[in-house]
Amino acid sequence: KQFSGIKATSQPVVEVFCLKEDELIDTLDQLLADGGIAGVIVNTVKRSQEFAQACRAHFGEEAVEVLHSSFIATDRIEKEKELLKAIGKDAERPHKKIIVGTQVMEQSLDIDFDLLVTDLAPMDLLIQRIGRLHRHPLCNRPPKVDTPKVFVMGINPTFDFEPGSLSIYGEYLLMRTQLLLPDKIYLPDDISPLVQAVYGDDDYFITK
């Protein structure tokens, strides 16, 4: 795939990688070997629970937090406060933490991940999620996550998308996002062209 409608002219740059679900634990293990804060944002509550369970089994209960829309409002607000205290602006960040959640993490929360893993979603929502990656200027990020990297799960050459994602977002937007998703995203220059290309009806930008 190739997105040819953008000239990369500004920093920062976010590197984009495809990730298979069964590679998640090994990838987190490798990149968080020296510490760091990883966000794992998936499209359904069920998937967040399943991935959180897998992460806890490998990294331990204390290393993993969960935030999704099925928590009652008071519990969710308390969890959000705890996250802001731990990984918000000017927070005293823990050595290693994995935050697993759903779309509630892409909205309004001023939190900062060293590393982001996300389900495939429409381009504008992916960019919102990326907005939590290296959000604040920090000089002490662990070396393996000192540059912004996002790993996208659910990319499929035959467009056989994960059923939960498909039911929420539909095949068309997921397909166009997959086709137009570049290997690097330059912020903020690429935001508007990428979103317009995905939501437009012109296939000029898609080169197979």
| Cα dist from 185 to 5, 17, 161, whole Å | 12, 11, 23
CA atoms of 2 and 40, how far apart (whole Å) = 26
pLDDT of amino acid 4: 45
pLDDT of amino acid 203: 61
pLDDT for 122 beyond 80: yes
Tell me which residue has tokens 């001023």: 110
Residue 143 binned pLDDT confidence (cut-offs 50, 70, 90) = very high
pLDDT for 5 beyond 80: no
Which residues make Cβ contacts (< 8 Å) with residue 10, sequence separation at least 6?
186, 187, 188, 189
The answer to whether residues 41 and 106 touch, using CB atoms and an 8 Å cutoff, is yes
pLDDT of amino acid 138: 87
pLDDT digits (tens, 9 = 90+) for 36-93: 999 999 999 999 999 999 999 999 999 999 988 777 678 878 888 888 899 998 899 9
Which DSSP string corresponds to 57-118? HHH-GGGEEEE-TTS-HHHHHHHHHHHHHHHBTT----SEEEEEE-GGGGSS--B-BSEEEE
CA atoms of 121 and 155, how far apart (whole Å) = 10
pLDDT of amino acid 78: 84
pLDDT of amino acid 6: 46
pTM for this structure?
0.90
Residue 9 binned pLDDT confidence (cut-offs 50, 70, 90) = very low
Pairwise pLDDT comparison (120 vs 7), residue with the higher score: 120
pLDDT of amino acid 77: 81
pLDDT for 7 beyond 70: no
pLDDT digits (tens, 9 = 90+) for 145-192: 999 999 999 999 999 999 999 999 999 999 999 999 999 999 999 999
Residue 207 binned pLDDT confidence (cut-offs 50, 70, 90) = very low
CA atoms of 81 and 109, how far apart (whole Å) = 9
